[in-house]
């Protein structure tokens, strides 16, 4: 994973609460064995009409939303299924961060693993961002990982929480699978002292 320090990107708002992972990427796109092509399925129920043509009313299809890299969404974003296809689809579409008052636990964990930043802000800042997106659609924000702040166009800085380990991994491009493999000795020691009777081989 490439290190991430700052993201400067155009924001687009999807001010709905509890956007579930079935909306982010419907199940019909899960019958893949790769990560390819998931960007096309992002929000497909909303993005496309029944005949497959783009729905011009949907925010991502509007001209002013093109090139947006930061999604602003309502609370409990990513609820429901554990499908990592949801953050994969957001990333494949071009999003680098999602800003919301809260995220579902599994979505947040999945997003952090692949470098899609789940940015939690207070409700006032969220409301402000939604208004900005509506009133000045070309607005860009700056997300700075080291200082854990989002800078709005007026210079106002909003802090966000982030687990120290995730931050370290994102800033330095640390691969978590690589990190966990380095714990081999400790894992072997644990296995030696904690035998489990279970054997799935029968």
Q: Please give the residue ranges that form the binding site for another protein (CB under 8 A).
A: 15-18, 20, 22-23, 26-28, 30-35, 45, 50, 74-76, 79-85, 87, 102-106, 109-110, 113-114, 163-165, 168, 176-177, 179-181, 183-184, 186-187, 190-191, 194, 196-202
Rounded to whole angstroms, the Cα distance separating 75 from 18 reads: 6
Closest CA to 14 of 114, 93, 106, 85: 93
Angle between helix axes 105-114 and 85-93 (nearest 10 degrees) is 50
Residue 151 beta carbon to another protein: minimum distance, rounded to whole angstroms: 25
Residue 77 beta carbon to another protein: minimum distance, rounded to whole angstroms: 10
Give the chain's end-to-end CA distance (angstroms, integer): 38
Rounded to whole angstroms, the Cα distance separating 143 from 158 reads: 9
Helix%, strand%, coil% for the chain, nearest 5: 40, 20, 40
In the complex with another protein, the residue whose CB is nearer, 62 or 187, is 187
Residue 85 beta carbon to another protein: minimum distance, rounded to whole angstroms: 8
Residue 69 beta carbon to another protein: minimum distance, rounded to whole angstroms: 21
Closest CA to 5 of 121, 133, 167: 167
In the complex with another protein, the residue whose CB is nearer, 19 or 143, is 19
In the complex with another protein, the residue whose CB is nearer, 19 or 158, is 19
In the complex with another protein, the residue whose CB is nearer, 9 or 101, is 101
């Amino acid at each position: 994973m490439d290190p991430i320090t700052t993201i400067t990107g155009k924001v687009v708002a999807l001010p709905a609460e509890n956007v579930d992972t079935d909306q982010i990427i419907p199940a019909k796109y899960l019958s893949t064995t790769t990560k390819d092509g998931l960007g096309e399925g992002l929000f497909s129920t909303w993005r496309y009409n029944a005949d497959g043509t783009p729905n011009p009313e949907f925010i991502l299809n509007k001209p002013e939303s093109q090139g947006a890299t930061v999604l602003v969404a309502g609370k409990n974003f990513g609820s429901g299924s554990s499908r990592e296809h949801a953050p994969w689809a957001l990333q494949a579409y071009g999003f680098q961060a999602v800003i919301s008052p809260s995220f579902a636990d599994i979505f947040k964990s999945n997003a952090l693993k692949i470098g899609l930043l789940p940015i939690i802000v207070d409700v006032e800042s969220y409301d402000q961002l939604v208004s900005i997106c509506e009133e000045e659609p070309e607005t860009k924000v700056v997300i700075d990982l080291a200082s854990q702040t989002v800078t709005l166009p007026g210079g106002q800085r909003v802090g966000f929480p982030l687990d120290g380990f995730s931050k370290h991994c994102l800033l330095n491009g640390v691969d978590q699978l690589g990190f966990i493999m380095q714990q081999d000795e400790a894992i072997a020691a644990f296995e030696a002292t904690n035998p489990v009777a279970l054997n799935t081989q029968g």
